[in-house]
Amino acid sequence: KVEHEKLGILLNELKIDTAIFYGKETEYSFKEFKGIKFYFQERDELIKFVKSFDFLGKAILVKGSRENRLEEVCEILRKRYRS
């Protein structure tokens, strides 16, 4: 819990404007983060969001534990924004 809270605080300090959180533990980061934020507990909801959200012109960091299988999110982003 504490480490996830620290992540939310760090994102604020780094002046990150938008963050997307996925998974039960990231709720603590979500609560601490003050910018534009989205939180998902269900994988299907996250995937649907990633397929429709406008990421154009944004730097994206995808970070999570292996069990979250975020490779699919990365692949969706690659396909949508391939130049």
Q: 37, 16 in Cβ contact below 8 A?
A: no
Q: Give, in order, the Cα–Cα distances in Å from 81 to each of 4, 15, 59, 71, 75.
A: 29, 24, 12, 15, 10
pTM for the full model?
0.85
Read off the pLDDT of residues 15-38 as tens digits, 9 standing for 90 and up: 999 999 999 889 999 999 999 999
Strand partners, 21: 39
Helix, strand, coil % over all residues of the chain, rounded to 5: 55, 10, 35
Average pLDDT over residues 34-53: 94
**Proportion of the chain above pLDDT 70, given as a percent:** 99
